[in-house]
Structure 1
Amino acid sequence: MKNSWIIGLLLALIGLLPLASTAQQVAISDFMVKENLSQNGKLAIIATDSLEKTNNTIQGNYRFTINGFEQDLKFSDGVAVTSNPIASSTFVYFKHKSGQKDIGKLFFLRVTEKGITPYKISGMLLLIIPLLILYIAYKFKRFLITLLILAIIYFYLNYSKGLDVRELIESSILGIKNLI
């Protein structure tokens, strides 16, 4: 009877051992990109918390998508180094799927002789710049239409009514002098 208790206890412990060895990885909630400390042209991806402080509990392999290519990055104390060096300035998109949440960031990596400087590009900026260009083009179109109408009126007055550019400029200068 005593031996059956011991055998039962050992079987229960043996059954629970695989569960203890398959611990779940800590999820990466955010990350930032910097140049590797050795300045060898490689990037360091640093796992951070919501306050942008390094999360040192991140250990092991995590899957990242870098410009569409999937890579397993090995994190040690919250820092992983990419395998390929950056040779010239470029845009790079980093994406990581953490449980239910996708984290994606676009960076412009400027390469100089001093090293790599990453500039984060906001998603809102990618929406605002094209809208601003369209707005300027719309306003410029209206300006061009107004300029075309004024040119047609000028040519009409110039050819049929005898208006000359010198007289127009002289009239404007006299009008400004009268105001002063």
Structure 2
Amino acid sequence: MQKLIFFCLFMIPLFTSAQHQQIKDFLVKENLSQNGKLAIIAVDSTEKVDNVIHGNFRFIINGFQQDLQFEDGVSVYNHSVESSTFVLLKHKNQDKEIARYYFVRKTDKGLTPYKISALALILIPAVILLIAYMFKRFLTTIVVLVIVYGYFHYSKGLNISQLLESLFIGFKNFF
């Protein structure tokens, strides 16, 4: 009977496997000691700290590969932030790659990380280009109007004060 129990105890580890730790998502906050260092916090899908995360995990921070030591789901990046900066953090699991882009603002009170979404990285340049295009068309319209006004001013005696007065009277009569 002892041999059977010993054999079963010996065989159990062969059919079981350890639970693999995996960072599914992470957040960036200031370290609790407020020493100018960033804390990377492993979170679950509800953005609560994933306390089962322990050990070394590889991150790429602004293009430099770093092995971060996690304890209870929290790791502190060793380098302190000297001034406001942008930080790109990437972590690759077996399943997927997670990347987060932050603007870290440094003030006298400490660090404040602001997450920048990928949608904002697309929309902001698109809006700037749209405004530039609209301004270009507006500028073209203004140049054409100035040329037309110049022609009528010199050849037909049009005065800008008379033109504006006529516009104001027209608006008053309209309302």
Q: TM-score, normalised by structure 1?
A: 0.85
Match of residue 59 from structure 1: 54
Match of residue 69 from structure 1: 64
> Does structure 1 residue 118 correspond to structure 2 residue 113?
yes
| Deviating more after overlay: 161-170 vs 137-146 | 161-170
Q: 1:34 aligns with which of 29, 35, 52?
A: 29
Instruction: Give the distance between the partners of 2:72 and 2:166, measured in 1 at CA.
Output: 77
Aligned partner of 1:29: which letter?
Answer: K
Match of residue 157 from structure 1: 152
Q: 2:134 aligns with which of 134, 139, 145?
A: 139
Aligned to 1:84, what secondary structure does the other structure show? strand
Q: CA deviation at 1:175?
A: 3.0
Equivalent pairs: percent with the same residue? 55
Instruction: Give the distance between the partners of 1:88 and 1:96, measured in 2 at CA.
Output: 24
Match of residue 74 from structure 2: 79
CA RMSD of aligned residues (A): 2.6
Q: CA deviation at 1:177?
A: 4.5
Aligned to 2:131, what secondary structure does the other structure show? helix
Q: CA deviation at 1:142?
A: 1.2
Q: CA deviation at 1:165?
A: 1.7
Aligned partner of 1:81: which letter?
Answer: V
Aligned partner of 1:68: which letter?
Answer: G
Q: CA deviation at 1:98?
A: 1.0
> How many residues of Structure 1 are paired with residues of Structure 2 in the alignment?
172
Aligned to 2:78, what secondary structure does the other structure show? coil
Q: CA deviation at 1:91?
A: 0.3
Match of residue 101 from structure 1: 96
Aligned partner of 1:103: which letter?
Answer: I
Aligned to 1:53, what secondary structure does the other structure show? coil
Instruction: Give the distance between the partners of 1:79 and 1:169, measured in 2 at CA.
Output: 67
